[in-house]
Amino acid sequence: MFKTLKNTLIKLKKENPLVLNLTNEVTVDFVANGLLSLGASPIMSKAPQEMDDLLQLASVLVVNIGTLDDNFVSLCEYACDVANQLKKPIVLDPVGAGASQYRTTTSLNLINNYDIAIIRANASEIMALSGASMVTKGVDSTAKTEAVLANAKALSSYYDSAIVISGEVDVVIDSNSVNKFTYGSALMPKITGTGCLLSAVVGAFHAIEKNRLQACSLATVFYGLCGEKAGQYAKGPAAFKTKFIDELALLPELIYEK
């Protein structure tokens, strides 16, 4: 896998895909800088007036509902509709699904009404979207990744979406195919936005690798390796955040060590 990852990263940096983000106000800076470090071209927007133009240019749409209101929800619906018409893949990050009915309903409306290529979420969010009884702690997961595999498989099959579940064990599912990975650092949950950025990175990889399972798996391994490397040098969350962004830029050099 590491040779494929290295080649995909080289191609990504060369092609510099445009990733359109309708994203979380709390983490927009981290997501933008992370994508830039990776070698993608991020653009953030809240203007429905430019959605048609931007989606013509973008390789992928990433929708993150971390900070939502009715205007933002309407924007997401419009953008998803245009993306589907243009056959541009959509990555959905259903932040906090299960924490409030508003978040859960918004996420379910999006996956029920639009073709969502990839859902990137934590275990509790997957449980909420699959209809299981689960309460999240804010936007953090109170469920273990392994406990929701059956729910995630059902969700993937029903909606024809690839699923990326983040946790101590990261799991990538597309229909009946399941890949598990254990790369990363204990510092990753200590900074806000690591999940948001992963969703955007998954989108960037899918812009290069059209096979969803492969794109999600490569992105997840890459992301975990960056966290692992950053965690070796960082003494705390602030230092980790800076070092992590550095590692996004330093790959594929890191891959040669594997």
110, 76 contact by CB (below 8 A): yes
Mean confidence (pLDDT) of the chain = 91
What does the domain layout of the chain look like in residue ranges?
Answer: 2-257
Residue 133 is predicted with a pLDDT of: 44
Tokens at residue 66, please?
């971390």
For 43, the token pair is: 């653009």
Measured CA to CA in angstroms, residue 170 lies from 6, 42, 74, 204 at distances of: 20, 25, 31, 18
Statement: the pTM of the whole predicted model exceeds 0.85: yes
Query: What is the DSSP secondary structure assignment for residue 168, as one 8-state letter?
Result: S
φ, ψ of residue 185 to 5 degrees: the values are -140, 150
Q: What CATH code is assigned to 2-257?
A: 3.40.1190.20
Q: Convert the pLDDT of each residue in 100-139 to its tens digit.
A: 999 999 999 999 999 999 999 999 999 999 985 444 444 4
Question: Tens digits of per-residue pLDDT, 37-85?
Answer: 999 999 999 999 999 999 999 999 999 999 999 999 999 999 999 999 9
pLDDT tens digits along 187-245: 999 999 999 999 999 999 999 999 999 999 999 999 999 999 999 999 899 999 999 99
